[in-house]
Structure 1
């Protein structure tokens, strides 16, 4: 089946980058545009300045393997889509943007019963057989995989793939059962920090949402996605969707929000336990460091802190 306007489609690469327009992608971005998408090599080929500033107003977000999009337009090999699983104030249906049509597929043809799983390792690969050739590299944390309901083979399980492709194989220790309901606060706060800590030192990539590069709000999105909690993609929308609390009342797993001189919120971090001196600490994707870090508030962060938000429903 072909990709059609007005119909749903599934992302067929590990991470498809959503662009502001087909012209936003440059020659230096070609590694991210193919099938498969070589996101790891694309990120590795950029300087810190290119990752932090060079993608601003060009790359919007990324969409993970198997995620559903609504195709609204097709033009010269590009599809304008709505990412329905990434809430956004830009469109009530989800996050809008452009990606190459070749990175999309229709629903899987596999008819076997499947069990919903989610990638729990930082990254894994889908192979053509256990320990075989890589079909889809760089499948990252938070990717939902439909595992075929049959006996595993020596620590490997079959996974249904988008489109007419035969099933692939994934290591069972790289996945876990996908949560069927939001994780409660008691365990969720602990697990939120565990997930965020997995991404420490991952490069900062504006618009990134993969194990090879994230920005501040996609780090938050991935953390809560892993816990079965759907939050918006961008920091200002995350603030609007969370319950406002006083920053001094923040608990681990809550969110800190930052803005400059009355402008829109531009940064977000995941609260952790305070430091030994009682100062607030957070895990965040920091452009000034070019990576995900865990630190106390710097002077600039303290001066631009404008609030905190709670996503968990505490008892």
Structure 2
């Protein structure tokens, strides 16, 4: 069993390699085009993610998965950070191998966690590289008054301090959980959604609680 890391802003975890439809191709390549995909989905196509059992969950950029099996361009994985009754080791499902990279040794014990619904990752020239989700967590290599230098599956990049905070073991109150959730008012529902681009009911509750320890 090999450890891999998600190398796209958010990866859908599919029920099978046969599950994606023609319209879902935008979520099978690296980089994924999550906003274009969401904008292109009709109501019926969104609903079919559930009724046809196409998507199981999602994983965020930099999130670890354990690879159990390969089939062509696909990897069958479990997600240790997402508990599931389907597998005691973590949530299971299929991800295109192009969306994953082999896990590298940790270069820092400190991590920055995105606190906004979405925020951008920047390169050394401070040019936007990738739009990332709330709760994306990346190891911090250094920091200054404005930026976190972070280690990512794409190499050394930067996060604005206004978009992310250092991870701390603080537990929030019920009021804190509600306040966190208010940032996502009017966000459209997405079956299997586990990101600031779209949540489903269990994904939303899971992440609001996770954000508060």
Question: TM-score, normalised to structure 2's length?
Answer: 0.93
Per the alignment, residue 72 of structure 1 pairs with 68
Q: How many residue pairs align between the two structures? A: 211
* Deviations 1:211-249, CA, capped at 9 Å, x for gaps: 121111100011012122xxxxxxxxxxxxxxxxxxxxx
Describe how 1:17-96 pairs up with structure 2 within 5 A: 17-51=12-46, 53-56=47-50, 57-96=53-92
Higher strand proportion: 2
Alpha-carbon distance between aligned partners in 2 of 1:109 and 1:169, rounded to the nearest angstrom:
19
User: How far, CA to CA, are the matches of 1:151 and 1:214 in structure 2?
Assistant: 31
Within 2, Cα distance between the matches of 1:44 and 1:84? 30
Which secondary structure does the structure 2 equivalent of 1:173 belong to?
coil
Is the aligned partner of 1:214 residue 2:210?
Answer: no
- 1:131 matched to 2:111? The reply is no
The alignment partner of 1:158 has SS state of strand
Match of 2:152 in 1: 161
In structure 2, how many angstroms separate the alpha carbons of the residues matched to 1:223 and 1:90? 22
For 1:166 and 1:9, the matched residues in 2 are separated by 15
Q: Which moved more, 1:66-75 or 1:187-196?
A: 187-196
* Larger CA Rg, structure 1 vs 2: 1
- Is 1:130–1:169's contact at 8 Å kept on the other side of the alignment? no
Match of 2:140 among 143, 147, 150: 147
User: Deviation digits for residues 122-180 of structure 1, max 9, x if unmatched?
Assistant: 1011121253141x22x1111112121x242x512211012xx4301111110112233
- d(CA) in 2 for partners of 1:32, 1:11: 13
Residue of structure 1 in register with 2:168 after alignment: 179
In the other structure, the counterpart of 1:227 is 212
Uncovered stretches (5+) of structure 2, i.e. residues with no partner: none
What is the rounded CA distance, in whole Å, between the counterparts of 1:110 and 1:62 in structure 2? 23
Deviation, 1:70, is: 0.8
Contact 2:64–2:103, Cα closer than 8 Å, also in 1: no
CA RMSD of superposed structures (Å): 1.6
- What is the rounded CA distance, in whole Å, between the counterparts of 2:109 and 2:162 in structure 1? 18
In structure 2, distance between residues paired with 1:127 and 1:109: 22
Name 1:246's counterpart in structure 2. Answer: none
Tell me the distance in 1 between the aligned counterparts of 2:168 and 2:106: 23
2:110 is paired with a residue whose SS is strand
CA distance in 2: counterparts of 1:131 and 1:226, whole angstroms: 27
Using the alignment, how far apart are the partners of 1:37 and 1:188 within structure 2? 35
